[in-house]
A and B are shown apart, each in its own frame.
Chain A
Amino acid sequence: MSDDKLLVVKDLTTTFATAGGDLAAVAGVSFDLERNETLGIVGESGSGKTVLSRTIMGLQPRVNTTVTGSSIIDGFEVVGASENEKRTIWGTEVAMVFQDPMTSLNPVMRIGKQIDEALRVRLGMNRKDAKARAIELLELVGIPSPVQRYNAYPGQLSGGMRQRVVIAIALACSPKLLMADEPTTGLDVTIQAQILNLLDELKERLEMSVILVTHDLGVVATRTSRIVVMYAGRIVETGTTRDVFYHHRMPYTRALLESSPKVSNKSHTRLITIPGRPPNLLNLSDGCSFAPRCKYATDQCHLVRPELQPSVEPGHSFACWNPLPVNAEATLP
């Protein structure tokens, strides 16, 4: 039943008015999300993942920003809603775990207070109950001695601990949809796995849907059911995690996979980046945005933008004029 989808995004476009002209950081993105599903959004840095995930929940900048299309979270149309209307779903329906725990916590507010706030303002709890619940949440996200940590300032905690606090805040009002925007990018490798496992575990326990945003396909490999691959603000390939990993058709997806340290060929000990530079969004051609960096590109690629088209597997589509052969898996481990 399509009505029962938790999130339906249709033709979502986010345009910033900048000094250099209008910049479409997200351009015509459509996808949807089932309840209790984990979806991955991947793409190299600058591909529009952050802008997309913020726009989905209506959290884009308030000035010089235009959003069109539609994003419906559990029946609530986010696009066009006023700040006050959106406030009614923020925290309770949808919450965000931000990328950098060094900057996403208020540096001059005790962490306990930052958790309390949501509970008191949004759920109307009294001071005492909110504190008790905040300490429970700190415990839930695996912070040792939560009673003492309640009074700590963010600066007194390590990066991993701070990200746990950010997760505790996001979970405070039991959202149905949790957006995690590169939740581990700023953290040590060992801590990264811990945080990702924590998110997995909480998702099961609290019956949430999760959108996991990352530039590293290795992060989403085992954690998501479906993946959306983004380039220059558009979806260039989408399908089940399996299809994206083993049956991808878009050369950019291949390049992303090869640049991921965990899934790439073992001989590649160093992180390989995709050759060429990300496109300038202020000056996009009419063709495929990836064409200038693509070794399979033809004239057509430079002149006409390919639309998403279905591949052989159901739900798997890609936007490419010269896709990789259907059984591209042979070249990957």
Chain B
Amino acid sequence: MLRYLTKRLMLLVGIVFVISVGSFYLIHLLPGNPATVILGFGATPEAKAILYKQLGLSKPIYLQYFVWLGNIMRGNLGISFISQTTVASVIRSALPIDAEIIVISQIMAFAAAIPTAMRSARKPDGILDRVLGATSFTLLSIPPYILIVVLVLFISLKLGVSATGPSAYVPFATDWITNLESLSLPAFTLATVSYVIYYRVLRSDLIATLQEEFITMARSKGISQRRIMWRHAFRPSSVALLGAASVNIGSLLAAGFVVQYLLQIPGLGYTLILAINESDFLVVQGIVLTVSVLVVAINFFFDFVINIVDPRISRE
């Protein structure tokens, strides 16, 4: 297991390296002088000259990369020329919102998917299975970002919720009730998108697992159906589910951006869209980098969990 995880970790370090090179190189892809890109068109020549020295822009590009990487490693992502605060602090205030939305949505999605998939798998072609099968199939055939837009519009119109604007957002620690109120709709939409995937993946794996000989063996011990489902069928059926979650959460970060924009919630996505509009390059770069590293970390985390759930994987 340790060897397997070390191997995975090395792969991930490689991926992070590629991402960092990409993010770094972003600036050279944009038209214009990097200093102008970073500081905006209104920057004074003096400011540009200082930045030029700071970033070592007169040095060869690979040295520039190391200077840049050194700064990133120290948590120095630069300063937003719009807000004049550090990019790190911009991210620090936005990221918890994304994290919270995703965590809540995943709790909802798993809490709904696991018991319903269990029930469907126990009685395939039963009423519940048919209803959920048809519903999830329909929802799954709609691209998630469209589904999200539809859900947000539909629910906010039905409930009379309207976007109150980013300034109305209250952190969890300040007032958790208001906080949860404002995040429950975005979390719910992401939960719906996740639910249909998790339900279908888990259901089909459970049905396959229930055909296995060790399930008949468990039955022959005289233990309850419930116990067979939870103790014997669930765990070996959850590997694909965890894999799906790993991929899905990555894409939810992006899907969350749409929701945040629609509902004017100041998470990473909202901030990113604003920054793009305002050509606030360092903020864009910082968010792209953060999200990429996050996706990689989530993948690694799920690899680890999958290994614990199914010890066969690292042995093969």
Contacts and interface: CB of A to CB of B under 8 A. Distances in A.
Interface of A: 54, 57, 59, 83, 86-92, 95-96, 98, 100, 103-109, 117-118, 121-122, 153, 155, 166, 169-170, 172-173
Interface in B262-316: 309-312, 315
Q: Which 5 A-B pairs have the closest CB atoms?
A: A90-B222, A91-B222, A103-B213, A87-B222, A106-B214
Contact of A107 (B216, B221, B231, B312): B312
A107 B222 contact: no
A162 B223 CA distance: 21
A105 B214 contact: yes
Given A59-B216, A100-B213, A117-B231, A108 B221 contact: no
B214 A117 contact: no
Identify the interface centre among A57, A83, A108, A169: most chain B CB within 10 Å of its CB: A108
12 contacts: A95-B220, A106-B218, A106-B232, A108-B236, A109-B235, A117-B221, A118-B222, A118-B223, A121-B221, A122-B221, A122-B223, A172-B221
A105 B217 contact: yes
B310 A96 contact: no
Identify the interface centre among A89, A100, A155: most chain B CB within 10 Å of its CB: A155
Nearest to B235: A108
Given A103-B213, A109-B232, A90 B220 contact: yes
Interface string B55-68: 00000000000000
A225 B97 CA distance: 74
A107 B233 CA distance: 11
Identify the interface centre among B219, B227, B235: most chain A CB within 10 Å of its CB: B219
Contacts of B221: 90-91, 95, 117-118, 121-122, 169, 172
A54 B224 CA distance: 18
Given A57-B220, A90-B220, A121 B227 contact: yes
B309 A108 contact: yes
Interface residues of B, number: 23
Contact of B231 (A57, A105, A109): A109
A59 B219 contact: yes
A122 B224 CA distance: 10
A17 B217 CA distance: 23
B310 A108 contact: yes
A106 B235 CA distance: 10
Interface string B207-241: 00000111011111111110100011001100000
Nearest to A106: B214
Identify the interface centre among B214, B216, B218, B225: most chain A CB within 10 Å of its CB: B214
A92 B220 contact: no
A59 B214 contact: no
A166 B217 contact: yes
Nearest to B238: A108
A90 B219 CA distance: 8
A120 to B, nearest CB: 9
Contacts of B309: 108
A87 B222 CA distance: 4
Given A57-B220, A117-B221, 17 more contacts: A59-B216, A88-B222, A89-B222, A90-B222, A91-B222, A96-B217, A98-B216, A98-B217, A103-B212, A106-B232, A108-B312, A109-B235, A121-B224, A122-B221, A122-B223, A153-B311, A166-B217
Interface in B27-47: none
Given A98-B213, A104-B214, A121-B227, A59 B315 contact: no
Contacts of A95: 220-221
A100 B311 CA distance: 20
B173 to A, nearest CB: 39
Contacts of A88: 222
